[in-house]
Amino acid sequence: MIKSMTFAAMHFSIAFAVAWALTGDWAVGGAVALVEPAINSVAYIFHERIWAGYKKSGRLSWKAGVAAA
């Protein structure tokens, strides 16, 4: 758990620093640092579904990894 928290803090800090360095705006840096990990979290779910489907069928398909409801 601590490892995950320190990684999240590092990720936030890097995202903030890069956005601030590129724009010079603290608000933009903060917004990017909050929004980017949130979008990445959603993208991770789709990546896992695609990967699970690939491992199951040998083909790339995001639907292959989705469990039937």
37 within 8 A of 12, measured Cβ to Cβ? yes
Q: What is the pLDDT of residues 2-14, one digit of tens each?
A: 998 999 899 999 9
Q: Is 21 left (phi over 0), alpha (psi -120 to 50) or beta?
A: alpha
Q: What is the pLDDT of residues 17-46, one digit of tens each?
A: 999 999 999 999 999 999 998 998 899 998
DSSP string, 2-65: HHHHHHHHHHHHHHHHHHHHHH--HHHHHHHHHHHHHHHHHHHHHHHHHHHHHHHHSS--TTTT
